[in-house]
Amino acid sequence: MEREIETFITYLHNVKKKSENTIMSYRRDLYKLKGFLEELDVKKVQNISQTNLNSYVLYLEKNHFAPATISRNIASIKGFYHFLLREHLVNEDISEILKAPKLEKKLPEIMTVADVDKLLSQPAGNTPKELRDKAMLELLYATGIRVSELISLKLSDINLKMGFVVCNDNGRERVIPFGNTARNALLAYLEHARDTMILHDDEKYLFVNCSGKPMSRQGFWKLLKFYAAKAGITYAITPHTLRHSFAAHLVENGADLHSVQEMLGHSDISTTQIYANKTHNRIREVYTKSHPRG
């Protein structure tokens, strides 16, 4: 089964052009399934039965895996079987019987504007590291891009004169504007910090770590956690929290959903609708607390 999994992973990388994070998820999910099947002495994909797959999903449920995790595992198995059938490695797609659990759509955690201000004001010094950190945080909140997109930005993706950044989202180009605050932070970083941090003059990535190598997801998470603690923010925030906050604050201030959808890169407007729901809920809370007959 390992050979088929690795062939599938290569297909995802070379043909489907999936992101590294997506590929890692597929590999992790399928190797977890492989381990479960080997316990049942099932080692060949041709010998896997519908009962085996159902038993695996039941195993995940009994071990209290989150519905979202179970859904992702089922999606990975289905994707794997579509590939196996396409390559004539199996005669039928037995994964069709698997049903993903219903997921509750949770409202994302949104920071207040005051907390965002506190967070973004923390890197206030003039050291190269602080200038870089300031530029990264300001740009993330100004554009709502994903952390994977932030650390993948190249110098050529930034247009300081016109105030926009270009992101490549699965082969589709997305142009997102940013304001003067982010622009000034980027200028300070480029003029006074980046040249002292990069190892080579031809470095293409916009942001580098203190060793001069491209910034990693883990590196950015660490600096975000550091500045959140420094700002006195006691609840957990992630890079995605800033993305959610960017979208919610735009909608709260009158931005239309289609524009926000385009900036976030959502393929479906229903995904963006959640920010409008969050705003409506907040308005309802304000009304209930404030109106004499609320």
Written as one string, the DSSP assignment of the chain is -HHHHHHHHHHHHHTS---HHHHHHHHHHHHHHHHHHHHTT--SGGG--HHHHHHHHHHHHHTT--HHHHHHHHHHHHHHHHHHHHTTSSSS-GGGG--PPP---PPPP---HHHHHHHHTS--S-SHHHHHHHHHHHHHHHH---HHHHHH-BGGGEETTTTEEEEEETTEEEEEE--HHHHHHHHHHHHHTHHHH-SSTT--BS-B-TTSSBPPHHHHHHHHHHHHHHTT--S---HHHHHHHHHHHHHHTT--HHHHHHHHT-SSHHHHHHHHHHHHHHHHHHHHHHSTT-
Tokens of residue 65, six digits: 């895996």
Residue 15 CB neighbour total at 10 angstroms: 9
Q: What is the pLDDT of residue 286?
A: 45
In this prediction the pTM is: 0.61
- At residue 287 the predicted structure's pLDDT band, cuts being 50, 70 and 90, is very low
Q: Which residue has the tokens 């105030």?
A: 163
- Over 50: is that where the pLDDT of 294 sits? no
* 24-38, 104-118, 124-138: the lowest-pLDDT one: 104-118
- Over 50: is that where the pLDDT of 266 sits? yes
Distance, in Å, from the CA atom of 108 to the CA atom of 104, rounded to the nearest integer, reads 12
Residue 282 has, within 13 A of its CA and on its CB side, a CA count of: 16
Tokens of residue 46, six digits: 């041709």
What is the CA 182 to chain-centroid distance, rounded? 21
Sign, CA torsion 269/272/274/280: negative
Q: Which residue has the tokens 């959610």?
A: 244
**Mean pLDDT for the chain overall:** 87
Q: Which residues pair with 168 in a beta bridge?
A: 173
Nearest to 170 by CA among 58, 66, 267: 267
- At residue 288 the predicted structure's pLDDT band, cuts being 50, 70 and 90, is low
| pLDDT tens, position by position, 227-248 | 999 999 998 898 888 888 888 8
Q: Which residue has the tokens 């995940």?
A: 60
* 2-6, 77-81, 96-100, 230-234: the lowest-pLDDT one: 96-100
Q: Which residues pair with 205 in a beta bridge?
A: 154
Angle formed at CA 93 by CA 91 and CA 98, multiple of 5 degrees: 155
- At residue 33 the predicted structure's pLDDT band, cuts being 50, 70 and 90, is very high
Residue 236 CB neighbour total at 10 angstroms: 9
Distance, in Å, from the CA atom of 215 to the CA atom of 150, rounded to the nearest integer, reads 9
